[in-house]
Amino acid sequence: MIDVVEIQKILPHRPPFLLVDRVTKLSEGESIEAFKNVTIQEPVFLGHFPGHPIYPGVMIIEGMAQAGGILAFKSVDKATQEEAKEKVVYFMSIDKAKFRSPVRPGDRLEYHLKVIKHRGDIWVLDGKALVDGKVVAQAELKAMIVDK
């Protein structure tokens, strides 16, 4: 298990744009499971939508990507992990994105990602976001680890 303090040592993101609270499972080079507790305190709910708060799909995809970044950084050798402080993960593409059900305050948004392909600094991931075991969003993410 990786808590939010350790996550902040891996990812450059900070609140309110750090969208992973904890990693619950990690199989280096293969898969990751992580989650974010969605609360009414999220700044995005001020405008999306007043009186009818829905967590934006773009934030769900970003959370999946952040979990994928943790997977990528934790999957490289230890020497490269030390260099990770000078690296960042960039999106290359988002394909096959589908949004199946709205995410609301009070939901625990789980991210499940599996490696489809990894070659060099490029990662292709199959991502799913779930609430209460039900898929609420999915996408295929392609990312690259680059120098800051």
pLDDT tens digits, residue range 111-129? Answer: 999 999 999 999 999 999 9
pLDDT at position 78 over 80: no
* Domains of the chain by residue range: 4-147
Averaged confidence pLDDT in the chain? 94
User: Cβ–Cβ contacts within 10 Å for residue 5, how many?
Assistant: 7
Fold of the domain spanning 4-147: Thiol Ester Dehydrase; Chain A (3.10.129)
Residues annotated as catalytic (active site), given as ranges: 48
This prediction has a pTM of 0.95
pLDDT tier for residue 87 given thresholds of 50, 70 and 90:
confident
User: Average pLDDT of 89-93?
Assistant: 92
Percent of the chain with pLDDT over 70: 95
Q: Are 138 and 114 spatial neighbours (Cβ–Cβ below 8 Å)?
A: no
- Nearest to 2, CA basis, from 69, 87, 84, 79: 69
